[in-house]
């Protein structure tokens, strides 16, 4: 039985999730809590290799079903190797993205279908469901503009795709208000962090 807590920070590209996840992890560490800050795709040597394939702009011919299987493969490895054992030890996990991203990017925006992705996700996650998923909401134009590095394969997709992604996240949150909370990624880093902590403190 999992006894730890599992918090996911997700949202459109450039929403600021890695900055916020880092600050949240530091906050927990100051409180002497055992915390792991992970990212998806990634977080294990195998998953990081899969990440490189997925995000390499040279792989522009990659199809959506291929994406789907690779994101799920990266996740399956991370869950078995890191997430499941850490939760069993009572740790707090903060994860940048999780199944919610596949539901939105491949299932909704990529037209695979939400239900199919959710069902497949059960294999990769062993039915581990985050205690809380925070969606940092941002307009795709603003998010993509914030990125300082060269655009990766996903960021290079057209704006219409990224608009569907944003809508998808908001829809997912509306349908599951007890598990998903939306915070506008607007204002200072500190004020957004304050809102995240207020939500997280309710479950820790």
Interface residues toward ligand TMP, by CB under 6 A: 13, 39-41, 71, 96-97, 101-102, 105-106, 154-155
**Nearer of residues 47 and 193 to ligand TMP, judged by Cβ:** 47
User: C-beta of 33: minimal distance to ligand TMP in Å?
Assistant: 24
Q: How far is the CB of 110 from ligand TMP (least distance, A)?
A: 8
Among 1, 4, 3, 45, smallest CA distance to 28 is for 4
Residue 39 vs 181, nearer CB to ligand TMP: 39
- Distance between CA atoms of residues 144 and 61, nearest Å: 21
- Looking at beta carbons only, is 158 or 201 nearer to ligand TMP? 158
- Locate all alpha helices (DSSP H) within the chain, ordered by sequence: 17-30, 45-55, 64-78, 84-88, 99-102, 114-125, 140-146, 159-175, 189-201
Please measure the distance between the N-terminal and C-terminal CA atoms of the chain and give it in whole angstroms.
Answer: 17
State the minimum distance, in angstroms, from the CB of residue 201 to ligand TMP. 25
Nearest residue (CB) to ligand TMP, 33 versus 155: 155
Least distance in angstroms from the C-beta of 106 to ligand TMP: 6
What are the tokens at 186? 């607007």
């Amino acid at each position: 039985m999992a006894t730890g807590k599992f918090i996911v920070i997700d949202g459109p590209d450039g929403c600021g999730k890695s900055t916020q996840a880092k600050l949240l992890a530091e906050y927990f560490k100051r409180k002497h809590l055992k915390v792991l800050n992970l990212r998806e795709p990634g977080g294990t040597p195998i998953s990081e290799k899969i990440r490189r394939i997925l995000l390499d702009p040279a792989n522009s011919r990659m199809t959506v079903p291929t994406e789907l299987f690779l994101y799920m493969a990266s996740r399956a490895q991370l869950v078995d190797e890191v997430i499941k054992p850490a939760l069993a030890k009572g740790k707090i996990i903060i994860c940048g993205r999780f199944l919610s991203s596949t539901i939105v990017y491949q299932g909704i925006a990529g037209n695979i279908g939400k239900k199919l992705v959710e069902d497949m996700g059960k294999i990769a996650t062993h039915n581990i469901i985050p205690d809380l998923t925070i969606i940092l909401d941002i307009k795709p134009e603003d998010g993509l503009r914030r990125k300082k590095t060269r655009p990766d394969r996903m960021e290079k997709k057209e704006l219409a795709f990224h608009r569907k992604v944003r809508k998808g996240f908001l829809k997912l949150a509306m349908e599951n208000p007890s598990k998903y909370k939306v915070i506008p990624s607007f204002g200072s880093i500190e004020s957004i962090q304050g809102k995240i902590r207020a939500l997280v403190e309710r479950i820790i």
